Amino acid sequence: MEKLKLDDLQLKVMQVLWREGEVGVSGIQEQLKAKEDRELAITTLNTVLQRLYKRGIVNYRKEGRQYIYRAEVTEKETQSSMASSLIDKLFKGKSSVLVNHLLESSAFDQDELEDLKRKIAAAQQKKKDNE
Amino acid sequence: MEKLKLDDLQLKVMQVLWREGEVGVSGIQEQLKAKEDRELAITTLNTVLQRLYKRGIVNYRKEGRQYIYRAEVTEKETQSSMASSLIDKLFKGKSSVLVNHLLESSAFDQDELEDLKRKIAAAQQKKKDNE
DNA sequence: GCTTTAATACTACAAGTGTAGTAGTTTTGT
DNA sequence: ACAAAACTACTACACTTGTAGTATTAAAGC
């Protein structure tokens, strides 16, 4: 797993691809306008996509003379990669340090806490089963 | 709370400041060499510090003709800011989505899970007390 | 068939970052 | 007192990102 780093706009674009599967550039433009409220020139998106393509993060097929792009990394991979990068850089490399920080800053409401408790129990169970 | 974004090298430098409180540039250089194994030219660090200063992230006092820098943002602030930025961008704005993701990718060992359970219980208690 | 329209290719440019060199000025060592 | 060392100031340069303009070419409308 190489380090995958996506900046803001790149992420927005990737999110469209993750949602849609395959999209042409103008489709991406529409989606961004609709869901993210970002009005970007087509040429801007073209540039972004081309750069992502050079890095192997997206790929495309041609349909007529249109480029239909698709993501080459999954959302989960990206989440893992970027989360662990943050954890490494700022939370001593330990997820638990991050979570403690979040707990301290009251980042969760009651329902979420309850839910987490359940999920943790499940994770513990799973660990036990794997032994 | 403004959005605080620190890149890799900037973070490394900030980490030294957080640890040490006040340090001169050559002190920072030594610390980075010792603890991070990064050998950087003094001028590089000077540039980085000046840029951070321009952004109001560090400040300094002069001691003789030396600049003694100190952090103007705390580590916790930075952690909060960067964590929530990641959460916003990649985890639907919900800390719990992040934590779920971490749980799914088995980012915790048994001890950590146990510890989390305790901390969550404590957080729940605290929420109750605050009512 | 000829004009819009749509699409890509190529170019551009300002900011920010990583990284450091050179020049100039104190301080220090001897 | 002078050379060497320590510091800061200024400059530089390549790379990445955000953002888009212009040029060219192909498709579609009428």
Q: What is the DSSP letter of B67?
A: E
- In chain B, which residue ranges form alpha helices assigned H by DSSP? 8-20, 25-31, 42-54, 75-90, 95-104, 110-129
Q: How far apart are CA A100 and CA B83, in angstroms?
A: 12
Q: Tell if A44 CB is < 7 Å from nucleic strand C.
A: no
The percentage of chain B sitting over the pLDDT mark of 90, rounded to a whole number, equals: 90
The Cα B56–Cα B119 span in angstroms is 35
Q: Which nucleotide is nearest to B65 (CA to C1')?
A: D7
Q: Looking at the complex, does the CB of residue A82 fall below 8 Å from at least one CB of chain B?
A: yes
Give the total residue count for chain B: 131
Residue B115: the pLDDT is: 94
**What is the identity of the amino acid at A19?**
R
B1 has a pLDDT exceeding 70: no
Average pLDDT, rounded, for chain B = 94
Rg (C-alpha) for chain B, rounded Å, is 19
Q: What is the 3-state secondary structure (H, E, C) of A74-104?
A: CHHHHHHHHHHHHHHHHCCCCHHHHHHHHHH
Q: Which residue has the higher pLDDT, B119 or A1?
A: B119
> Mean pLDDT, to the nearest integer, of B112-128?
92
Give the span between the Cα atoms of B84 and B93, in whole angstroms. Answer: 7
pTM here is: 0.92
Tell me the CA–C1' distance in angstroms for A42 and D20: 9
CA of A3 to C1' of D7 (A): 37
Task: Please write the tens of the pLDDT for every residue from B41-98.
Answer: 999 999 999 999 999 999 999 999 999 999 999 999 999 999 999 999 999 999 999 9
Tell me which residues of chain B, numbers 93 to 122, contact chain A at a CB-CB cutoff of 8 Å: 94-96, 98-103, 105-108, 110, 112-117, 119-121
Angle made by CA atoms B109, B79, B130, in degrees to the nearest 5:
85
pLDDT of residue A131: 75
Across the interface, of B8, B101, B123, the residue whose CB is closest to A79 is B101
pLDDT over 70 at B107, yes or no? yes
Confidence (pLDDT) at A83: 97
Q: Which residue pairs from B70-78 have beta carbons closer than 8 angstroms and sit at least 24 positions apart in sequence?
A: B70/B17, B70/B21, B70/B22, B70/B23, B71/B14, B71/B17, B71/B18, B73/B4, B73/B14, B74/B18, B75/B14, B75/B15, B75/B18, B76/A101, B77/B1, B77/B4, B78/A90, B78/B4, B78/B6, B78/B11, B78/B14
Measuring from the CA of residue A42 to each C1', which nucleotide is nearest? D20
Q: Which of B76, B95, B107 lies nearest to residue A95, judging by beta carbons? A: B107
Task: Give the per-residue pLDDT at A127.
Answer: 81
Query: Stated in angstroms, how far is A69 CA from D27 C1'?
Result: 21
Provide the pLDDT confidence category of residue B2 given band limits of 50, 70 and 90: low
> Does any CB of chain B come closer than 8 Å to the CB of residue A127?
yes
Does the C-beta of A2 come within 7 A of strand D? no
How far is Cα B119 from Cα B123, in angstroms, rounded to an integer? 6
User: What is the mean predicted confidence (pLDDT) over B17-46?
Assistant: 96
A19 CB neighbours in chain B (<8 A) are none
Splitting chain A (131 residues) into consecutive groups of 10 residues, what average pLDDT does each group show?
88 97 96 94 98 97 95 97 96 96 92 94 88 75
Residue-level pLDDT at B24: 97
